[in-house]
Structure 1
Amino acid sequence: MGKACCSTDDLKTDLTSGKSDLALPTEAVESTFKVSGMDCADEIAAIQSSLKIEQVFRVEAKLMSSTVQVWYSPDLDENEIRRLINKSGVKVVDPNKSSKAISRQRVALVAASGILVCSAIVIGFLTKEQSLVSMALCSISIICGGFLVFPKGLRAIRHGHLDMNVLMTVAVAGAVYLGDYTEAAMVVFLFAFSELLEAFSVVRARKAIQDVINVSPKVALLKTVNGELINVAVDAVKVGDTVVVRAGDLFPTDGNVISGKTEVNQAPLTGESTPVKKKEGDGVYAGTVNLSGSVEVQVTKILSDSKVSQIIRMVEEAQKSKAPSQRFVDQFAKIYTPAVFVLGLLICFVPPLFFGGRWEDWIYKALVLLVIACPCALVISTPVSIVSGLTAMARRGVLVKGGIFLETLGRLKALAVDKTGTITEGVPQVLVMKKWNDLPEREIVKIAASIEKLSNHPLAQAVVRYAEKSGVSVVGVEQSQTEQGRGIFATVEGHEYFLGNHRFTHELGVCSSDLEKYLQSLEEQAMSVVVVGHKPHDDCVGEVLGVFGIGDKIREEAKAAIQDIHKAGCETVVMLSGDNNRTVSAISKQVGIDKVFGELLPEGKVTKIKELVSEYKYVGMVGDGVNDAPALAQASIGIAMGAIGTDAAIETADVALMKDDLRQLSVAIVQGRRTLGIIRFNIGFALALKALFLILALLGYSSMWMAIAADTGATLIVILNALRLLKIQN
């Protein structure tokens, strides 16, 4: 378990709600404990209650990683924290030792309880009465099953909580008081069995997550300065070191290939197992698999800073945030359970005291009501659904930062996409270069490339590459001034020039009728135009020197991806671009985009997103996570494409598509809708079953064992339904 000091930038989390409020003290110490026996919300509540002392500032119990993170005063010993956690009913275990997912003792106790109560029922059926033997068998069954229930119930009562274990303890005690040992034993067994099923489901979901995040290699083959190869722990590898990765091995760190060539399976990061060819100069990532040749890699990032470590942190953080449906269920359960308990007390006492009812009848009805009140199926349904959905998406290379964003994906009505790098490949090239005066073409290219050398915009880089390919050398720029969304003014070799888009030529008053026709013809062919010329100044009216027609190839999968997004239930797909309207309109028609808005400055994109949110409410924005940051922030959900190439994309977006493929988005939307649908069904089913048995109990048609059997069945159904989300539907 780790221990570290926290800065004042950290936030304190409320022990029960997980919400941020006050800053942690600067001296706060953090420790993480691996625990066993934490399988549902009751255990989490018990841990939080046990640690609710003045010296503990913050507690985060993570169900799916089975860990408890505690921030506390340095005056408090770590062993005391461990003792308090153990006191809650779970057990702190050694994080380095493998432990059984479900203890054999627990399985044995549940099995013994079930066998004993079934034996008692058979004996009772054969003898037609409750014999001493059947009573003894039921009593032992109650003890076996109750060993897993009663201590938790007593701890909850001591901490002032009214949880499921308390309800079951009272119900069983009441049944024993009424002399119905068989029913008491059946209730204990079915509840313990239900809890065991729930634990198995959490273990399965937990294992699925571990399969995603346990892709980090443990050792690296380090090449020393004298050429020796030695095995070292990955943590010991430093930036600048050279590691050798043989065929079949995992890449231990992020780095660049400096010798050899190979094919790499990047499925752990992108979800796509099609091998990617790598040669000298290409980047490779920790956790991916070297399929063929042996290569030497120069380390560019230590493991903790690598792409795979970012993903692991993101998957773990995603489990912390509660989706709206989960917050609803948590709040509902807090009110529902005490309310039904009070109702049970009223049913127990009011009819016998005021209406002459038989005590035995109304006590029994009250006990049935307590059993019905058990919110197992309701409480477990949402977190297992959310975690299953998030895990399945991570397997496919789609990183969703939490349940709230997964639900938002499922509600998307409109999607805004950037053009460059999203619909197009993002590597434009000069397709046409036309002189517009008597200056030699090489001179025009030199001026344009010298100015564009200052910019990292894809269109600017296309002009620079064209100059390099033409063998034209660039010169220094004496001064420059960028006009955002339009172009740039620059002084080259003592002359003032402008370089920019179609709109810029109109603003400068240098667009003639002939030039207008020519630019329109290029734009109708889906080309972007870059115009270079003399800047109008003083007595100079300005003059166009040349025109570059730049094309960006449309992605092969773009049209199919847009069709799939529509099929997934997204009503409208909109393109937002800074490029001219004719170009973006031509591209949008080719790929089937519904609406298009060109010539937009960054603030213009934000305005359009606001309009879309006003009209559709749930709107996604696909961008690169950096340049489109304002628009991404304004949308209901920001989505970054090709995040395997940029660290910033993972940090800034709500959803990161690791593979540079828009088709992943339709899969994410479908998964979001499936998750929402399954959550709604689970909640509705659990509540409907509760309502049905509540009515049956009040009418006298339900027994305790029937109610707990129904709850056990409901728990099993909602869990299995939620686990369906681990399998992605294409």
Structure 2
Amino acid sequence: MMTSFNGEMLMQYRIEGMDCASCVGKIETALTRMPGVSDIRLNFATEKLELTLASDAATQAGDIEKTIKSLGFGVSATPQTAHHQRWWQTRKGKQVVGLGMLMGAAYALALFFPTYGAWVFAAAVIVGVYPFARKALALGLSGTPFSIETLMSVAALGALVIGEAEEAAAVVFLFSIGELLESVAAGHARAGIRALASLVPKTAVLLDALGGQREVAAASLRVNDHVLVRPGDRVSADGVIIQGSSSLDESPVTGESVPCAKTTGDHVFAGSINVDGVLEVRVEKTAADNTIARIIQLVEQAQASKAPTARFIERFSRYYTPAVMALAALVVILPPLVMGGDWSTWLYRGLALLLIACPCALVLSTPAAIASGLAAGTRRGLLIKGGSALETIGRVKTVAFDKTGTLTEGKPRVTDVAAFTQQSGEEILALFASVESGSNHPLAKAIVAHAEAADTLIPTASNASATAGKAVHATVAGRALAIGSPVYAAQAAILSTEQQAQIETLQNDDKTVSVLFDEQSREALGLVALRDESRDDAQQGVAQLKAMGVRSVMLTGDNRRTAQAIAGHLGMEWQAELLPEDKLHLINEMKLNTKVAMVGDGINDAPALATADVGIAMGGGTDVAIETADAALLKNSVTDVAHLVALSRATVIPPFSTVLICRI
């Protein structure tokens, strides 16, 4: 894509095949050397490249694409979303499969015809090393002469020269596997970004000045446009309601499990789900600046904040590669010249040094304790993404927990049923379930499920309707009944002082209260209270962390009353009414003084998971959280956080680590 501005052209490309921050550095180095190219911005997470090209420069758009392709990367002029292939369908995947087949054939031939086996090994080396040697040459010409590819190519070809074709083939094969695994890991990281972006609908219903409706791309919406949001739709843009009332599920943004009642004048977030009413919303932010877009930016920035390690590896390779090659040259040259050594012997030894020093050995070799720790964690349902994460978890002194879906089940459950009349609690529950039976609201589903679990006979309702965001109505056994919030019930029915006190007590205990009343007589018949209960093992998990010297704090988007009730029960600190950027800010503050882990399950947790020293996702959480995190708790158990810390501490404390791990 090309945009002309003030004599300069803004070029946009999509780059394929970037697996790490090192790839970014190689492309930037090559482009910087091209005349007329400036303002290079390459985003590893989104695979997008932007640069400025002077209109009178000798460099042409074709030259830029040719340079990038010569480095071994794919490039397209339109930064659109690509078709995502399975690993075996990719170029790197096909290379690994092909090399594996060649090596298998070579080993089979070597058993019966050793001479032919050596030739097949040699063929595997030539086929396998070709793309790396070609890339090494291109990198050398573009300003990166001492790359990892250079060392690997020289080492493999050197081994072939001295007659060690089998070892050379193994080096190429293992390096190819490492490249493929890196590519797969990068793809998983990008999958989380794509899942975030998919939360915002692609289209919106735009209203014109005369009330006409037409479907447009959500990305085309502008500030002050009016859009229609129907029941079941996702909100297409951040904005304010100018007409209508409804309940909105804002869990993708705030993490709050219970839908919020919204009416005229209230703000709504892009990606929220409209539950029951029709809304007219005035757009306040464009697609590039809405809540989900900001969350994506926060995740990308948080992932980029881990770049110092990647930069260290890149700096290390700049010195390591030429140092090893210089040392190997000295081994070949000095003994024959100074001590009269045999040239062929010392050539063999110099090339053997290159082979041994090939960086794939550094990348692929994992200490026994780390390997055992990762395996032990997997057996217990603790999925840990690499030895670095395993080592860091044991040094954590503060664990920040999301509330909904992490410390709690994430689903409201009926906790209390009370009758205000002579009817029994079971009869009131039956009436509640009857009126709510036609609703898709999460609270309605919880009430019906509770009644069915109690084998309650639910009478048939008719004339069901809803007042969006306020109440549901139905006729049951000839009576016009309604269920609404305490605020609505106080307006539409008569609540005694005792009944209001009972409702207030339940609300102070972090419970959501619904009131059943007769619309004709205005008599209040009873109430049902619901709450998102904490996980069975949450209190035990927090206590175990405390015993290990680890502080626990709850970070939630829910209201302060809810947070205080849950945190008080679990015996931990808390912060409430937090948006994703607020959680991120608090995590960064904690990191100034100690190592911090973040445990969450939702989309709104992704930025904090990415920026924490260790991000831990609940296994039942969203794909975004799991892809962003460094570890996942497959059993959804809070006590497994303590098990992770214990496993890490056992792994990194020699010399008894292996023994301890084997006993876990």
User: What's the TM-score, normalizing by structure 2?
Assistant: 0.55
- The answer for the alignment partner of 1:329 in structure 2 is 313
1:309 equivalenced with 2:293 (yes/no):
yes
Alpha carbons of 1:242 and 1:268: their partners in 2 closer, same or farther (altered >3 Å)? same
1:228 equivalenced with 2:209 (yes/no):
no
Q: Whole-Å Cα distance in 2 between the matches of residues 66 and 35 of structure 1?
A: 5
What CA deviation, in whole Å up to 9, does each residue of 1:415-474 have, x standing for no partner? 99xxxxxxxxxxxxxxxxxxxxxxxxxxxxxxxxxxxxxxxxxxxxxxxxxxxxxxxxxx
Alpha carbons of 1:378 and 1:69: their partners in 2 closer, same or farther (altered >3 Å)? farther
1:357 deviates by 5.3
Q: Structure 1 counterpart of 2:72, which letter? A: G
Q: Structure 2 counterpart of 1:151, which letter? A: R
Correspondent of 2:99 among 110, 113, 123: 113
Alpha carbons of 1:52 and 1:186: their partners in 2 closer, same or farther (altered >3 Å)? same
What CA deviation, in whole Å up to 9, does each residue of 1:493-514 have, x standing for no partner? xxxxxxxxxxxxxxxxxxxxxx
Q: Structure 1 counterpart of 2:238, which letter? A: D
Q: Percent identity at matched positions?
A: 31
Alpha carbons of 1:91 and 1:120: their partners in 2 closer, same or farther (altered >3 Å)? same
What pairs up with 1:430-445 in 2 under 5 angstroms? Answer: none
1:323 deviates by 4.6
1:281 equivalenced with 2:261 (yes/no):
no
- The answer for the alignment partner of 1:141 in structure 2 is 124
1:257 equivalenced with 2:241 (yes/no):
yes
- The answer for the alignment partner of 1:130 in structure 2 is 115
1:88 deviates by 2.6
- The answer for the alignment partner of 2:140 in structure 1 is 157
- Work out whether residues 262 and 294 of structure 1, in 8 Å CA contact, stay in contact via their aligned partners in 2: yes
What pairs up with 1:29-40 in 2 under 5 angstroms? Answer: 30-40=10-20
Alpha carbons of 1:213 and 1:174: their partners in 2 closer, same or farther (altered >3 Å)? same
Q: Whole-Å Cα distance in 1 between the matches of residues 60 and 551 of structure 2?
A: 55
1:45 equivalenced with 2:28 (yes/no):
no
Q: Whole-Å Cα distance in 2 between the matches of residues 590 and 721 of structure 1?
A: 29
What CA deviation, in whole Å up to 9, does each residue of 1:648-674 have, x standing for no partner? xxxxxxx9x999x9xx79x96996346
Alpha carbons of 1:355 and 1:56: their partners in 2 closer, same or farther (altered >3 Å)? same
1:173 equivalenced with 2:157 (yes/no):
yes
Q: Whole-Å Cα distance in 2 between the matches of residues 285 and 270 of structure 1?
A: 10
Correspondent of 1:247 among 215, 218, 231: 231
Q: Whole-Å Cα distance in 2 between the matches of residues 291 and 269 of structure 1?
A: 16
SS at 2:32 equivalent: coil
Q: Structure 2 counterpart of 1:366, which letter? A: G
Q: Whole-Å Cα distance in 2 between the matches of residues 337 and 623 of structure 1?
A: 51
What pairs up with 1:240-639 in 2 under 5 angstroms? Answer: 240-355=224-339, 359-360=343-344, 362-375=346-359
Q: Whole-Å Cα distance in 2 between the matches of residues 96 and 276 of structure 1?
A: 35
Task: Give the unaligned 5+ runs of structure 2.
Answer: 366-390, 401-532, 554-566, 617-626, 639-664
1:410 deviates by 9.7
What CA deviation, in whole Å up to 9, does each residue of 1:369-426 have, x standing for no partner? 3344344586799xxxxxxxxxxxxxxxxxxxxxxxxx9999786899xxxxxxxxxx
Q: Whole-Å Cα distance in 1 between the matches of residues 194 and 307 of structure 2?
A: 21
Q: Whole-Å Cα distance in 1 between the matches of residues 45 and 83 of structure 2?
A: 15
Correspondent of 2:177 among 193, 196, 217: 193
Q: Whole-Å Cα distance in 2 between the matches of residues 590 and 36 of structure 1?
A: 50
SS at 2:216 equivalent: strand
- The answer for the alignment partner of 1:61 in structure 2 is 42
Q: Structure 2 counterpart of 1:338, which letter? A: P
Alpha carbons of 1:207 and 1:415: their partners in 2 closer, same or farther (altered >3 Å)? closer
1:217 equivalenced with 2:201 (yes/no):
yes
- Work out whether residues 587 and 611 of structure 2, in 8 Å CA contact, stay in contact via their aligned partners in 1: no
- Work out whether residues 26 and 144 of structure 2, in 8 Å CA contact, stay in contact via their aligned partners in 1: no
Q: Whole-Å Cα distance in 2 between the matches of residues 183 and 296 of structure 1?
A: 69
What CA deviation, in whole Å up to 9, does each residue of 1:583-618 have, x standing for no partner? xxxxx9999799xxxxxxxxxxxxxxxxxxxxxxxx
Q: Whole-Å Cα distance in 1 between the matches of residues 575 and 361 of structure 2?
A: 36
1:297 deviates by 2.1
Alpha carbons of 1:566 and 1:152: their partners in 2 closer, same or farther (altered >3 Å)? farther
Could you say which structure has the larger radius of gyration?
1
Q: Whole-Å Cα distance in 2 between the matches of residues 32 and 674 of structure 1?
A: 32
Q: Structure 2 counterpart of 1:69, which letter? A: E
1:220 deviates by 0.4
1:621 deviates by 11
Q: Whole-Å Cα distance in 2 between the matches of residues 658 and 364 of structure 1?
A: 55
What CA deviation, in whole Å up to 9, does each residue of 1:235-261 have, x standing for no partner? 333333332222332211112234444
Q: Over the residues paired in the alignment, what is the CA RMSD in angstroms?
A: 5.4
Q: Structure 1 counterpart of 2:613, which letter? A: G
SS at 1:35 equivalent: strand
1:353 deviates by 4.4
Alpha carbons of 1:108 and 1:726: their partners in 2 closer, same or farther (altered >3 Å)? farther
1:286 deviates by 0.9
Q: Whole-Å Cα distance in 1 between the matches of residues 294 and 185 of structure 2?
A: 27
Q: Whole-Å Cα distance in 2 between the matches of residues 669 and 34 of structure 1?
A: 24
* Number of aligned residue pairs: 454
1:219 deviates by 1.0
Q: Whole-Å Cα distance in 2 between the matches of residues 377 and 291 of structure 1?
A: 55
- The answer for the alignment partner of 1:9 in structure 2 is none
Alpha carbons of 1:376 and 1:71: their partners in 2 closer, same or farther (altered >3 Å)? farther
Q: Whole-Å Cα distance in 2 between the matches of residues 568 and 668 of structure 1?
A: 19
- Work out whether residues 22 and 310 of structure 2, in 8 Å CA contact, stay in contact via their aligned partners in 1: no
Q: Structure 2 counterpart of 1:257, which letter? A: I
Q: Structure 2 counterpart of 1:148, which letter? A: P
- The answer for the alignment partner of 1:694 in structure 2 is none
What CA deviation, in whole Å up to 9, does each residue of 1:303-334 have, x standing for no partner? 23322222223323334334544443333333
- The answer for the alignment partner of 2:479 in structure 1 is none
- Work out whether residues 410 and 673 of structure 1, in 8 Å CA contact, stay in contact via their aligned partners in 2: no
- Work out whether residues 197 and 296 of structure 2, in 8 Å CA contact, stay in contact via their aligned partners in 1: yes
Alpha carbons of 1:81 and 1:324: their partners in 2 closer, same or farther (altered >3 Å)? closer
User: What's the TM-score, normalizing by structure 1?
Assistant: 0.51
SS at 1:92 equivalent: strand
Q: Structure 2 counterpart of 1:34, which letter? A: R
- Work out whether residues 46 and 156 of structure 1, in 8 Å CA contact, stay in contact via their aligned partners in 2: yes
